[in-house]
């Protein structure tokens, strides 16, 4: 049984939005007011757990949000590639307590991502 646990509407990120977390660069796959999903290409993400701080960057949307607090709430391996053995790490991050500025940045950003995620 798959129980939906999302509290906020989630949006697919169609533009090249990146996150820097634990000195690793990841692609932001989808985002909501409560968190986001990241895809890493690096095997070392398997030891990523608990609290983290991330930077969100998107030149096209003018996004430059630094030191966003979060917590890893799930991880799984996924394959988007036709190349055998090319496995990515998908990580779910729940936002921590955001500053007023960080919350405002997020509130202004979300309407720009208008593709609903399933």
Distance CA 66, CA 53 (A): 8
Mean pLDDT lowest among 47-51, 56-60, 91-95 = 47-51
Residues 6+ apart with CB under 8 A from 33: 8, 9, 95, 106, 107, 110
pLDDT confidence tier of residue 110, bands split at 50, 70 and 90: confident
Please check whether residue 7 lies inside any domain of the structure. no
Task: Determine the distance from the C-alpha atom of residue 24 to the mean position of all C-alpha atoms in its chain, rounded to a whole number.
Answer: 13
Q: What is the domain extent for residue 77? A: 16-110
CATH number, domain with residue 64: 2.40.10.220
Number of domains making up the chain: 1
SS3 46: helix
Q: From start to end of 1-118, where are the E strands?
A: 11-12, 18-21, 24-31, 35-40, 51-58, 63-78, 88-95, 115-116
Higher pLDDT, 3 or 38: 38
Reply yes or no on whether the pLDDT at 71 is more than 90.
yes
R_g (Cα) of the chain, nearest Å? 14
């Amino acid at each position: 049984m798959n129980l939906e646990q999302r509290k906020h509407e989630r949006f697919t990120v169609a533009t090249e939005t990146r996150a820097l977390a634990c000195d690793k660069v990841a692609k932001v796959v989808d985002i909501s007011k409560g968190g986001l999903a990241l895809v890493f290409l690096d095997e070392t993400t398997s030891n990523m757990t608990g609290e983290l701080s991330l930077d969100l960057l998107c030149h096209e949307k003018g996004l430059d949000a630094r030191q966003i607090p979060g917590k890893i709430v799930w991880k799984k391996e996924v394959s988007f590639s036709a190349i055998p053995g090319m496995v990515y790490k998908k990580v779910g991050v729940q936002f921590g307590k955001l500053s007023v500025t960080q919350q405002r940045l997020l509130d202004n950003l979300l309407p720009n991502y208008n593709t609903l995620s399933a």
